[in-house]
Amino acid sequence: MRKKTYIEPICASCTFEIACKTLNLSLEQINLNKEKKKEIKFRAIKQILKILGEDFSEYSYPFRLSAKVYESIKNITGIIDPYKNLKELSNKTILNLEDFFWKEINKGNTFKEKLYFAILGSITGNLIDFGTAGHQINLEPENIKQKFHQIKTHGLKINQIDKLIEKLQKYKKVCYILDNAGEIVFDKMIMRLLKENGIISTAIVKGGSITNDATLDDANMVKLEEFAEKIITTGSNSYGIDPELVDQKFFQWLINEPLIIAKGQANLETF
């Protein structure tokens, strides 16, 4: 369950940077003149600073603070999904590369080797994150391929694939908590490999939009249902799996699952 991951002083600047990015993306979707947008921007930034001033402390959870800031931007701008265009672009980009990466995965001679290559692909996909401060991602196909080959060359510093395979073979099922749009195409390939080897995957997506986290719309766009036995939402747009905000029936089911793969920083902080 959740470790106590409290805010650090540096989190203030990171939270503000992502808030401003989210605000700018929201304003791009609003059909108003320049002055009206400027007025909304000032109002939103004042509210963001107010939240940071009141809620930022050494005993705050970063995911809760970020979620509150995100909700304030949504309430002021009226834009529910500011990252919609970026998510669609991410999904389309990796879908166009799906055949290439599936061939890379199948360069492995055994299930273990194929799973290893699929995991490296999933790590590559983890770079597709527009909600992390100081992080830039180039979605050009050749850049994505280059990142994969770099990761493949370096390999894993901590490699627990034998332990993972042991558990997969024991339970014959896995609960897969997804992270970002685009990235989920790589996760789809892992689920495809698992299905071919008799292992059932249940995919978990967000119940609503928050930054570029994968939702049911993204799962449908990449046809995740082809290889996931079920696709379930958290019932919330909270960061990670926040026990206080996700659907309680879902949460009780989740904590009783024997094998869970949870991707993304927010899942580490919350679950």
Chain segment 210-219, per-residue pLDDT in tens: 999 999 999 9
Strand partners, 230: 202
- Range list of H helices, the chain: 11-28, 34-55, 62-77, 84-96, 98-105, 111-125, 141-154, 161-171, 183-196, 216-221, 248-254, 265-270
Residue type, position 211, single letter: T
Residue type, position 181, single letter: A
pLDDT in tens, 137-174: 899 999 999 999 999 999 999 999 999 999 999 999 99
The pLDDT value recorded for residue 270 is 84
Distance CA 141, CA 121 (A): 13
Measured at the CA of 246, the angle between CA 241 and CA 250, to 5 degrees, comes to: 95
Residue type, position 245, single letter: L
The pLDDT value recorded for residue 3 is 58
Strand partners, 38: none
The pLDDT value recorded for residue 140 is 95
pTM for the structure as a whole: 0.94
Nearest to 176 by CA among 125, 123, 230, 222: 230
Strand partners, 262: 177
Confidence of residue 268 (pLDDT cuts 50, 70, 90): confident
Distance CA 74, CA 44 (A): 9
Residue type, position 72, single letter: S
Q: How many residues does the chain have?
A: 271
